[in-house]
A and B are shown apart, each in its own frame.
Chain A
Amino acid sequence: MGLVVAIAAVFLAVPLALLLPARRWRGLLLAAVPAGVFAYFVSLLDRAAEGRPLTWSAEWFPSLGVELALRADGLALLFGLLIAGIGAFILVYAEAYMAGKPGAGRLEATLLAFMGAMLGVVFADDVITLFVAWELTSVTSFLLISFEQEKLKARKAAVQALLVTGAGGLALLAGLVVLGQAAGTYRISAMSAEAVAGSSLATGALVLVLLGAFTKSAQVPFHFWLPGAMAAPTPVSAYLHSATMVKAGVYLLARLHPVLGELEGWRPAVVSVGAATLAVGAFVAVHERDLKRILAFTTVGALGFLTMLLGLGTELAIKAAMVFVVGHALYKGALFMAAGAIDHGTGTRMVDELGGLRRAMPWTFAVVAAGSVGLAGFGPVLAFIGKEAALEAGLEDGGAAGGWALAAIVASGALFTAAAVVLLRPFFGAERAPGHPHEGSAGLLAGPLALGALSIGLALAPGVIEGRLIAPAAAAVAGEPVKVSLKLWHGFNTALGLSALSVGGGVLLGLGVRRLTAPTGRLMGARWFPSGPKVYDWLYYGMQRLARFHTVWVQRGYLRGYIAVVLLTFVGLAWAALVRWGGSIERDWLTPAFYEAAVAATIVAGATTAIVHMSRLAAVTALGAVGFGVAIVYALFGAPDLALTQIVMETLTVMLFVLVFYRLPKLVDRGPMRRRLRDGAIALAVGVTMTVLVLASLGHQQGQPISSYFGETAYLEAFGKNVVNVILVDFRALDTLGEIVVLGTAAFGVFALLRVRRWSR
């Protein structure tokens, strides 16, 4: 119950954020909500570590086996603590960042809504509950990226992020349902790897779930939306697009690792995508000049790093991933907030326009310095412990995947270090900035300083988290108890050597970064280079063009166009069915007498006259010939009742035609010859198809005809000898009543249409 209250409290703070006046204490007051939630989560840690996590569930769709289910195990708590803890700092920061500008309340309210949704994702124990919260994070992310809605760039980036994560969300929904089918339950904690592995649905579930996770966590080739999302205000970037939401995909991989991790495709797919993302993110990061974009691409790289570790799936790799999740959230959150402070203090985020800020912005400098150490992954920071563990996991693995992982970590380590050097540049050299550089307010600095201090503090005293936080989380991912002992200093070993090597190279690279990256930067800037945003644009506008093309050609707005489409579709489907059926047409036909043939010829001649002659009299006469011809056919082949009815109705029809046609203008066949020929061809195709269908249906009975029932009971039960009449007035009397109603309705309609003198205006 406590879990529901905690999540509900966050959602209930949303209207509060909208209603409270814009004062400095508003951020602090709102931050108290996640802070309280954070404290509550801390109190749950021991239960999770003892292996009896707090759970809660309520019926939702009992007939489908879907529940609202929550569960606070180690993994959920680790993410929950990050979400609530960093969220509290973000709210304080957001208040200072907006500095009383209109819309600050809206920003904080949306941040809180996102926070609640994100807590829903990590605590959900039912895949449908998880999915609903997952989609809610996509929606709130859309609202936050487009926060400055008057800017085209922000709107475009928001739509782009929504489309990419939304498409992934659809795949995820399908994947989760398939997974539930394979496992026989929608409860994540009740799923067994054996049941899933033994199901034929396993591969489908894996592919779909991975698509969802990869799009959300900005993995190659879906990574491009994340740098675009930097159009959001900096508090949003720091919170959603580095510390929490983008980690939802990583969280999902970790959450489902015990269920899907043993499947054959998991390791190659997840490791290769993660390694590629790590490499691409790190590589592009050194080419960027905008502080936020540098951070965005290094975030892409870090997400790839985490994905890769979960792909490896060894105990060491999982431990490394869990440590790095925390370490990365701390240093990256701090760096993002510092970037916002620099933007605030100087008026720009472009590193080339900045210099010598360390005197004007000493506190910000301290934060960036601590964050850069984290980014480089070398020094007394929590991320370093995670990275060392990852290197050891790669060394220990021995397989091809481990080798690739190792290479990716070492190479990207150098690039990350270079990026860190670039980040530090604005603080050295001669002082220069577009505006007058000044230090940020306490609100702007409190968050990044706290996160930066935590990043270092936890590295110096890892015992605080290793047993209570990391171990239960790693155990939840591994699916078995895991012992964790974290040490900052491991002594001189291979991992440290590799680390030192890559960092040393990175520093050199960072110092000469402008010259070294110039050629590759030109390459990536080339018009033909298929970068993510360009491919997205091609697809996006291509789809619009396709829709327009489709509309013009199919939805033309002419009745005859629609009729033609329906008819051609019918012909195609009918022939497809005939060909598949492949049966032969039986030919024990009656030999036509000459008068029978003459009647058929009359009908054909009448119909032909109706389409050829433009005289109204000829048309009516021709129609009469067709109608009476059909009546004679009925009479000849054992249907006197039909013949009588047909003659009566045909007489009435002809009279009506005569009456009406002389009030209509003369017939004209409109439209060019080309169109007439085309329509004729379509009509003829249908006619031929109908002929073949009639012949094919002759002599092919499916099942017992029910006519024999009527023949046997007409006299004995209904006391009539004319079976057709008995059917109409006795067996199917209600149908006949319906027929009379139709006739009556039509009569009223005709009367109304002819009586109305003019439409009321």
Chain B
Amino acid sequence: MELLLAVTVGWLYACGLYLLLRRTLAQVVIGLALLTNGTNLLIFVAAGLVRGEPPLIGDGEEVLAAGTADPLPQALILTAIVIGFAIQAFAMALAYRVYRSVGSDDIDALTTTEPPPPPVAVQTAEGDA
């Protein structure tokens, strides 16, 4: 099972990074989501898999029994899931705003830090004369 999940983690990374290298904004955001899941799964698998033994202290016991899953990586991942969601939400809102402001979802179109100035009537030499 570890092998299977390790390959899954690798594949999530590969797909996420491939999307991160795209030019379309939405693809980059999807890539971010895949990377988040991949990283959480990486911590989970690397900490060691234990089937069906959650880190709960049983009734009448005072300390965690041996053989249960490691609680620390779970606490880390729990935090990471929430933060990951916050980042994705923000990235999506940002992508939407960029698209509305620039009018394109092509990252290569983002070449200026400010929107182009409104068109100004061009003065010609004839106009001056």
Contacts and interface: CB of A to CB of B under 8 A. Distances in A.
A723 B89 contact: no
B71 A710 contact: yes
Contacts, number: 293
Interface string A672-698: 000000011011101111110111011
A592 interface: yes
Interface of chain A, helix or strand or loop or mixed? helix
A19 interface: no
B78 A645 contact: yes
Which of B4, B8, B56 has the most CB atoms of chain A within a 10 A radius of its CB?
B8
A721 interface: yes
A559 B21 CA distance: 8
B10 A690 contact: yes
Contact of A607 (B12, B83, B90, B107): B12
Contact of A753 (B7, B58, B63, B97): B97
A606 to B, nearest CB: 9
Interface string A740-760: 001101110110011010110
Nearest to B14: A687
Interface stretch (A187-195, A402-410, A513-521, A731-739): A731-739
B12 A656 contact: no
Contacts of A747: 86, 89
Contacts of A657: 33, 92
A600 B17 contact: no
A333 B5 CA distance: 82
Given A739-B79, A746-B86, A707 B71 contact: yes
Nearest to A661: B26
Nearest to B27: A667
A426 B49 CA distance: 96
B44 to A, nearest CB: 7
Interface string A638-656: 1111100110010011001
Interface stretch (A385-393, A481-489, A530-538, A626-634): A626-634
Contacts of A756: 97
A670 B22 contact: yes
A710 B2 contact: no
Contact of A723 (B26, B45, B57, B95): B57
Contacts of A59: none
Nearest to B63: A712
Given A694-B9, A705-B72, A753-B97, A714 B57 contact: yes
Nearest to B48: A698
Nearest to B12: A607
Contact of A611 (B15, B37, B108): B15
Contacts of A712: 63-64
Contacts of B106: 670
Nearest to A691: B10
Interface of A: 558-560, 563-564, 567, 589-592, 596-597, 600, 603-604, 607-608, 610-611, 616, 619, 623, 626-627, 630, 633-634, 636-642, 645-646, 649, 652-653, 656-657, 660-661, 663-665, 667-671, 679-680, 682-684, 686-691, 693-695, 697-699, 705-707, 710-712, 714-716, 721-724, 727-728, 732, 735-736, 739, 742-743, 745-747, 749-750, 753-754, 756, 758-759, 761
Given A694-B2, A707-B71, A750-B89, 19 more contacts: A563-B21, A608-B15, A611-B19, A626-B33, A636-B51, A639-B69, A639-B77, A645-B81, A682-B21, A683-B17, A683-B18, A686-B17, A690-B13, A691-B7, A691-B9, A695-B3, A716-B63, A753-B94, A753-B97
Interface of B: 1-27, 30, 33-34, 37-38, 40-42, 44-46, 48-58, 61-64, 68-72, 74-75, 77-79, 81-90, 92-97, 99, 101, 105-108, 115, 118
